[in-house]
């Protein structure tokens, strides 16, 4: 690899355009010198350049559009210069895809182009200490590999876009000294890798979350937001005030109207009960259809949220090719069992296909029902495969046939089988269709695991 490494050598004057003739150059470091003038347009000839370090100089002017021709560029550091103008969409939207991009401490103006979302491999982004304004682009949420994001000391306004919820790998987030407003997104408390959060000196308002990074006062800064309330006691914020509805005295006329209205309601209820009885079957079908529509759109992010980040507290079983987690979907309305395949295990991917095919075509009252499957990519870019099944709340057959007494604890409902239930089990075993284990039907047939 051809390198030109001349950092911190007290170089001065302009960068010679002849450097663009070194078309085999892959690494160029001219940082920490006294270089001035513009970035040469000839840099566009360095088509195999992977690393460009020009920070801590006195460079001026705009980023040349020719930089977009450096399709292999993965590290671009231009911070601490006097560069100015717009961050051009023609540069951001071109074919190179950096991993680390640092444009901080310059004089860039204008809005941040939405084409920034094209940088799918971006892990480090620092655009701090410029004069950028406008809203934080929604497209930034497409940079799902981001670990470091710094946008401090600009003039950004509006709310933190909801799309940033997809940046679950963030370790450091600095949005301080801007004009951001609205509430602090509660989703930030679920960012398990977030170690530093600075939202200070903005115009945020409302209640401060209390979990995740917000528990650590040394890792979180929210000062300079006068309308915040609640949060951890160490932040010393005022308690949130909730408006209480004022009780109004009922007049005699109003009481009479309420009495008449109540009578009408009573009559209506009788008629409604008759109507609801007739429509119950149709209503159940609609609910089932709604659940089916919801499950058909499940993604890796939905399952990650449903299992609290595949937390060990949600783990309910270990099987040959993976793990089984308890999950809560659709805002707590549906509890399911999620079998996540360990694709590093030899044969796991094949087992996923076989189970999908077999369980899709088999229907039996003693086999757990598969609701849907998920074949996607996780936030690290790895394949992800899972089956979503009914959750059997009553445990497995073994726990019913051989209950284990718990020392110093009493069961709220002792597990006692009736003679008829014992007989049904024997018949099922004889027919070789009963399937014990964490996915089998419970004894009463309608309980969920």
Q: Write down the pTM of the prediction.
A: 0.55
What is the model's pLDDT at position 152?
97
In Å, how far are 170, 392, 407 from 41, measured between CA atoms? 34, 66, 78
Tokens of 54: 């020009």
What is the model's pLDDT at position 441?
43
- Which residue is it, tokens 């190179």? 96
pLDDT along the chain (449 residues), means of 10: 84 91 92 94 92 96 89 94 89 77 96 90 96 95 95 96 94 97 94 95 94 92 94 90 51 79 83 79 54 63 83 81 83 79 79 75 69 81 83 71 58 66 75 47 38
Q: What is the secondary structure of 301-330 as a DSSP string?
A: HHHHHHTTTT-GGGEEEEETTEEEEEEEET
DSSP structural state of residue 372: E
């Amino acid at each position: 690899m051809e390198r030109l490494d001349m950092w911190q050598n007290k170089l001065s004057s302009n960068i010679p355009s002849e450097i663009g003739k070194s078309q085999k150059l892959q690494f160029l470091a001219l940082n920490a010198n006294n270089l001035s003038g513009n970035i040469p347009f000839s840099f566009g000839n360095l088509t195999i350049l992977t690393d460009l370090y020009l920070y801590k100089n006195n460079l001026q002017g705009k980023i040349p559009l020719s930089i977009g021709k450096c399709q292999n560029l993965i590290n671009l550091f231009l911070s601490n210069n006097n560069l100015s103008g717009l961050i051009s969409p023609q540069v951001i939207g071109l074919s190179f895809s950096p991993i680390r991009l640092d444009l901080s401490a310059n004089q860039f103006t204008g809005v941040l182009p939405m084409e920034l979302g094209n940088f799918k491999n971006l892990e480090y982004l620092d655009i701090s200490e410029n004069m950028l304004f406008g809203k934080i682009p929604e497209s930034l949420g497409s940079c799902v590999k981001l670990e470091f994001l710094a946008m401090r000391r600009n003039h950004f306004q509006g709310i933190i876009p909801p799309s940033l919820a997809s940046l679950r790998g963030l370790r450091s987030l600095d949005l301080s000294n801007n004009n951001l407003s609205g509430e602090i997104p509660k989703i930030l408390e679920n960012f398990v890798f977030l170690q530093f959060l600075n939202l200070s000196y903005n115009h945020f308002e409302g209640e401060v979350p209390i979990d995740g990074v917000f528990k650590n006062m040394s890792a979180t800064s929210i000062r300079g937001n006068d309308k915040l309330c609640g949060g951890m006691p160490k932040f010393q914020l005022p308690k949130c005030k909730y408006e209480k509805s004022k009780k109004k005295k009922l007049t005699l006329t109003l009481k009479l109207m309420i009495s008449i209205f109540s009578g009408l309601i009573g009559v209506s209820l009788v008629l409604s009960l008759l109507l609801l009885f007739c429509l119950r079957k149709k209503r159940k079908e609609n609910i089932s259809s709604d659940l089916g529509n919801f499950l058909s759109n499940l993604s890796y992010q939905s399952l990650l949220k449903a299992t609290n980040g595949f937390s060990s507290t949600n783990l309910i079983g270990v099987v040959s090719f993976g793990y089984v987690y308890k999950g809560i979907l659709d805002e707590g309305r549906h509890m399911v069992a999620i079998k996540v395949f360990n694709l590093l295990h030899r044969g796991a991917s094949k087992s996923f296909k076989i189970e999908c095919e077999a369980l899709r075509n088999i229907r039996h009252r003693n086999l757990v029902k598969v609701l849907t499957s998920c074949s996607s990519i996780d936030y690290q870019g790895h394949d992800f495969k899972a089956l979503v099944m009914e959750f059997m709340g009553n445990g497995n057959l073994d726990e019913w046939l051989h209950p284990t007494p718990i020392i110093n604890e009493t069961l709220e409902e002792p597990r006692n089988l009736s003679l008829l239930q014992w007989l049904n089990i024997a018949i099922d075993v004889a027919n070789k269709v009963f399937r014990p284990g964490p996915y089998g039907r419970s004894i009463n047939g309608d309980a969920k695991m």
